[in-house]
Amino acid sequence: MVMRMVAKSYGIEKDYELLLGSTTYILKFNKCLNPNGIEKNLGVIPHRDKSFMTVIEQQEEGKGLEIQTKNGEWVQVHLSPSSSIVLAGDACMAWSNGRIEAPYHRVIMQQNKDRYSLVLSSFVKDLKIEVPQELVDEDHPLQFKAFDHYEYIKYVSDTTVEGNRMKGAISAYCGI
Ligand SMILES: O=C(O)CCC(=O)C(=O)O
Ligand SMILES: [Fe+2]
């Protein structure tokens, strides 16, 4: 829904519909353990999602998820149990020719209890992700070559933890 609106505003609905036809989803149940008094314990390491899009629901109201701003500051995302947050992943950033930023995020544990969240991620299967022509012009030269999403995931997992932490993994993989 969010993506459909974004695609419409860029005039690339047809390209988006094509991707949607090849989209698969993975639902992950995430548990971060009680930090047992350790202040500001890291729950999830800073990363950019390797998915196309991610939707996060946090079980309880509270702090935890943080997103890094362009000037390097970490800001807390306040999520109520009835709301979700939509994050763009690396694949969406590349597809949009860098127009849609995949946020660098992490989870910081600040309460003395386990934290549960539901993470729904989308991936594009059996179709190369290619920047729509409409998003390339003199002011916006092509930034990413066409790529296979699952090959990209394989590339990242082959480079182990380092690959997952790498902020610029997608640029290293298919950047121009
Ligand atoms: O649990 C969360 O709120 C975020 C988890 C996350 O960033 C991820 O699984 O990629
Ligand atoms: Fe994430």
Convert 42-59 to b/e letters by CB count within 10 Å (16 or more is b): ebbebbbbbbbbbbbbbe
- Residue 37: is its pLDDT beyond 80? no
- Chain center to CA of 35: 25
Task: Evaluate whether ipTM surpasses 0.90.
Answer: yes
- Predicted confidence at residue 2, as pLDDT, reads 78
Compute the distance from residue 49 Cα to the ligand 1 centre, in Å. Answer: 8
- Residue 164: is its pLDDT beyond 70? no
pLDDT per position as a tens digit, 132-146: 999 999 999 999 999
Task: Pick the atom of ligand 1 nearest to 49's CA.
Answer: 10
Q: Average of pLDDT values for 45-71?
A: 89
Structure confidence at residue 161 as a pLDDT band (50, 70, 90): low
Convert 124-159 to b/e letters by CB count within 10 Å (16 or more is b): beeeebbbbeebeeeeeeebbeebbbeebbebbeee
Q: Average of pLDDT values for 60-84?
A: 85
Instruction: Please tell me if the CB atom of residue 56 comes closer than 6 angstroms to any atom of ligand 1.
Output: yes
- Predicted confidence at residue 111, as pLDDT, reads 79
The region of weakest confidence among 28-42, 65-79, 106-120 is 28-42
Instruction: Please tell me if the CB atom of residue 44 comes closer than 6 angstroms to any atom of ligand 1.
Output: yes
61 versus 14: which is more confidently predicted?
Answer: 14
Q: Average of pLDDT values for 35-53?
A: 87
The mean pLDDT value of the chain amounts to 89
The region of weakest confidence among 36-40, 56-60, 83-87, 100-104 is 36-40
Residue nearest (by alpha carbon) to ligand 1 atom 10: 49
- Residue 105: is its pLDDT beyond 90? yes
Calculate ∠ Cα 34-40-44, nearest 5°.
Answer: 65
- Calpha distance 25→47 (Å, rounded): 19
Instruction: Please tell me if the CB atom of residue 94 comes closer than 6 angstroms to any atom of ligand 1.
Output: no
* Ligand lying nearest the CA atom of residue 114: 1
- Predicted confidence at residue 80, as pLDDT, reads 78
- Predicted confidence at residue 110, as pLDDT, reads 78
- Predicted confidence at residue 152, as pLDDT, reads 95
Reported pTM: 0.91
Compute the distance from residue 44 Cα to the ligand 1 centre, in Å. Answer: 7
Report the residue among 117, 153, 156 best suited for mutation to probe ligand 1: largest number of ligand atoms under 8 A from its CB.
Answer: 117
